[in-house]
A and B are shown apart, each in its own frame.
Chain A
């Protein structure tokens, strides 16, 4: 067998730092050992925990640093639970980056509305950092972020820093009595946001939320091709060979996505 590129082989990385983000989420900062990840916001990698398994995660760090990547991981299954036991110095494997990123070149000069719910903000953090680093290239930017409780908010410490550069609106659907901010779901606060002809929306969250937000934004006059969704499936191979991440319409999330515009996919079927 020749030594050609084998996309199934992971490359080594070392856990550099572990940050607690919320009750259920941690961010792992990984330094890549003798290789660089050239990626754009929206792409994902496959994280291999030796002896446990592999799972796909969105890259949440800024693309300007190609020697490190950060992954924000919520405790849900086998791999994500094990990832919460990682300590600095542990060795892991990384495959990727895979997938079609956000078309950031087309975003330049546009007013952006970023809508995220729950852990969905992880898929947008790379884009937010990219926008903040190249602030002059982008128009008016608003992040509308919904979660259930204060304890569920991911990147709580960073949100203040982001709020100096972009508009940040946080809403909680099940807040405690001490919460002074906005209450309700993200869909309740879409009316308060001014959408112009130059506007463009990026949504990430659970499938049902993404679809209802996308539909109400389109109802407010946004062109479907200006509404971007970051889809989620359990990608196994990452290169379109296992067909596990296929979504209605015959798209592979790993190859054709994870970023889709609402004009490409059928919203009713994806939301099921």
Chain B
């Protein structure tokens, strides 16, 4: 345990950078706090409740290229013409996998416990057999410094879903703010080497205070199915902002794309997909499984709670409250799945 001043905290970030990490931390930009690669460590923000984005944006980018290949597509006067490559033809398929290695290893500095929980959830999804090689390449050697969260705002619910504590193994450093100073504890060998301390300590952290407390109990599939969210969703425009800002929404789409300027170079990209969109559940023959916004909202709730519990043994909701705070009409799922107690 060490008591560090602001300058010494910034020194830690410089030290991480020296060790080859790309340091990502919260920074105030244009009125919102965002996780950004900290080129200037003095921009680090330590007094915040929520960030607009989450570690997901760095571990599982919105759009990433999986591989490239050559096709024989050409632009002709009557449009795009695709001739399939043949064995003896000039252009057999050559597939070039593309792992975009990060500029260094990733380090998250100053994220809250709920975000550390979200990394645990993404690990469970992406590293379960067979592991996703692209995620794994970015995840390996990840450094996490967790900043304790003193008090949440009116949208937070980490206590209600049990993610107010940092899961074991998901913090190398834990930082608590005390006045102008910071109490820093190392909880992994990597953390203690950074702090120049021998000992590794168990983190004991107080849970953040909540402005509003809820009991989330109606989380089994049947209960969600029988509830009617029509009045709750009156303001829903299906903008899918809730799934964009959610730190655990990982659904993706895989597409083959090429530029019309050069149609023979095709790239296979993985892009973020949202269950709020029509194309999420459509299959061949015009069959659509999630037809209305009620269906799609219920589907999101089911994926977060009963399905995640069943498949990965942990709640898919880490209680950050981003989906409520950044919803244009502040649709609040807490009252749908539970009740307010304080």
Q: Is the Cβ of A242 less than 8 Å from the Cβ of B95?
A: no
Q: Is the Cβ of B73 less than 8 Å from the Cβ of A51?
A: yes
Interface string of B64-77 (1 = CB under 8 A from A): 00110111110000
Contacts of B71 in A (CB 8 A): 50-51
Contacts of B225 in A (CB 8 A): 269
Contacts of B87 in A (CB 8 A): 14, 89, 91
A196-252 contacts to B (CB < 8 Å) = 206-207, 232-234, 236-237, 239-244, 246, 248-250, 252
Partner among B92, B252, B253, B284 whose Cβ is within 8 Å of the Cβ of A91: B92
Q: How far is the CB of A161 from chain B (nearest CB, A)?
A: 29
Contacts of A236 in B (CB 8 A): 252-254
Contacts of A252 in B (CB 8 A): 311
Closest A residue by C-beta to B101: A1
Interchain CA distance A222-B69 in the complex, whole Å: 50
The segment from B123-131, B168-176, B227-235 that touches chain A is: B123-131
Interchain CA distance A15-B141 in the complex, whole Å: 43
Interchain CA distance A85-B86 in the complex, whole Å: 13
B61 CB-CB contact with A under 8 Å: no
Q: Is the Cβ of A9 less than 8 Å from the Cβ of B282?
A: no
B287 CB-CB contact with A under 8 Å: yes
Q: Is the Cβ of B254 less than 8 Å from the Cβ of A250?
A: no
Interchain CA distance A9-B287 in the complex, whole Å: 29
Q: Is the Cβ of B254 less than 8 Å from the Cβ of A54?
A: yes
Q: Is the Cβ of A9 less than 8 Å from the Cβ of B302?
A: no
A49 CB-CB contact with B under 8 Å: yes
Interchain CA distance A80-B252 in the complex, whole Å: 21
Interchain CA distance A264-B9 in the complex, whole Å: 53
B162 CB-CB contact with A under 8 Å: no
Interchain CA distance A272-B290 in the complex, whole Å: 9
Partner among A5, A8, A76 whose Cβ is within 8 Å of the Cβ of B66: A8
Closest A residue by C-beta to B135: A241
Contacts of A240 in B (CB 8 A): 128
B40 CB-CB contact with A under 8 Å: no
Contacts of B283 in A (CB 8 A): 232-234
Interface centre among A49, A87, A244 (most CB of B within 10 A): A244
**B interface, size bucket:** 35 or more
Contacts of B266 in A (CB 8 A): 50-51
The answer to whether residues A244 and B273 also contact, given A9-B67, A51-B258, A89-B87 and a CB cut-off of 8 A, is yes
B154-171 contacts to A (CB < 8 Å) = none
Q: Is the Cβ of B252 less than 8 Å from the Cβ of A4?
A: no
A151 CB-CB contact with B under 8 Å: no
Interchain CA distance A80-B87 in the complex, whole Å: 21
Partner among B86, B132, B133, B263 whose Cβ is within 8 Å of the Cβ of A51: B263
A20 CB-CB contact with B under 8 Å: no
Contacts of B258 in A (CB 8 A): 51
Interchain CA distance A252-B270 in the complex, whole Å: 19
Q: Is the Cβ of A76 less than 8 Å from the Cβ of B285?
A: yes
Interchain CA distance A250-B220 in the complex, whole Å: 11
Q: Is the Cβ of B82 less than 8 Å from the Cβ of A52?
A: yes
B250-289 contacts to A (CB < 8 Å) = 250-256, 258, 263-264, 266, 268, 270, 273, 280, 282-285, 287, 289
Q: Is the Cβ of B95 less than 8 Å from the Cβ of A8?
A: no
Contacts of B282 in A (CB 8 A): 234
A109 CB-CB contact with B under 8 Å: no
Contacts of B121 in A (CB 8 A): none
Interchain CA distance A96-B323 in the complex, whole Å: 36
Q: Is the Cβ of A50 less than 8 Å from the Cβ of B69?
A: yes
B340 CB-CB contact with A under 8 Å: no
The answer to whether residues A8 and B133 also contact, given A232-B283, A234-B282, A250-B310 and a CB cut-off of 8 A, is yes
Contacts of A207 in B (CB 8 A): 287
Q: Is the Cβ of B95 less than 8 Å from the Cβ of A6?
A: no
Q: How far is the CB of B271 from chain A (nearest CB, A)?
A: 10
Interchain CA distance A82-B297 in the complex, whole Å: 35
Q: Is the Cβ of B85 less than 8 Å from the Cβ of A50?
A: yes
Contacts of A243 in B (CB 8 A): 250-252, 303
B99 CB-CB contact with A under 8 Å: yes
Give 9 nearest A-B pairs by CB, closest first: A51-B71, A250-B307, A76-B284, A90-B84, A50-B71, A1-B99, A242-B252, A250-B310, A51-B73
A-B contact pairs, 19 of them (CB 8 A): A1-B99, A4-B133, A48-B256, A51-B256, A51-B258, A51-B266, A53-B255, A76-B285, A89-B87, A90-B84, A91-B92, A93-B69, A236-B254, A237-B254, A241-B126, A241-B250, A244-B251, A246-B303, A250-B307
Supply 7 further A-B pairs (C-beta < 8 A) apart from A48-B256, A244-B252: A8-B97, A50-B71, A50-B72, A50-B85, A51-B82, A239-B132, A250-B221
